[in-house]
Amino acid sequence: MFKKIDHVEIVTNDPDRSVEFYTGVLGFKLKFHDRVPLNDAGGSLNIAYLDLGGTAIELLTYEGTPVEPAPQKLQLGYRMMALEVDDMRKTLEYLKTKSIDPVWGPVFRDKYARAEIRDPNGYHIELRQWHR
């Protein structure tokens, strides 16, 4: 019946910068881009669907409709997505070349290493390396 998580939606006010971050920095591939009308008042929804190894994110921009900024404090509900990495140290070195520093960590434990970065919208992304 249920097969997998198909995608995570991320709302952005800067779709070009967000697509560049997820494709140019994190290696996602653009599957499709679309713009659909939302209402009679002229608003539209800009959609960019990006894939990374069978996991996808859908970047949404509500054009002509105001949206609230990303939460900056702990709250109930969605917190962040996590990306598995092969080597935490090499990943952080690579991100530094893209002017992206961790906002938390890295922390190295027996079974895993963990750090967090932010996307251009302020959303946290966990980086996780599993030690097998």
Superfamily of domain 81-130: 2,3-Dihydroxybiphenyl 1,2-Dioxygenase, domain 1 (3.10.180.10)
Q: Quote the pTM value.
A: 0.86
pLDDT digit string, tens, across residues 94-124: 999 999 999 999 999 999 999 999 999 988 9
pLDDT of residue 110: 95
Q: Where are the beta strands (DSSP E) in the chain?
A: 7-11, 29-37, 44-52, 55-63, 81-84, 104-108, 112-118, 124-130
What rounded mean pLDDT belongs to the chain?
90
Which option is the CATH number for 7-63: 1.10.10.10, 3.40.50.620, 3.10.450.50, 3.10.180.10?
A: 3.10.180.10
Give 70's DSSP letter: P
Higher pLDDT among residues 6 and 107, named by residue:
107
Q: What is the mean pLDDT of residues 25-50?
A: 89
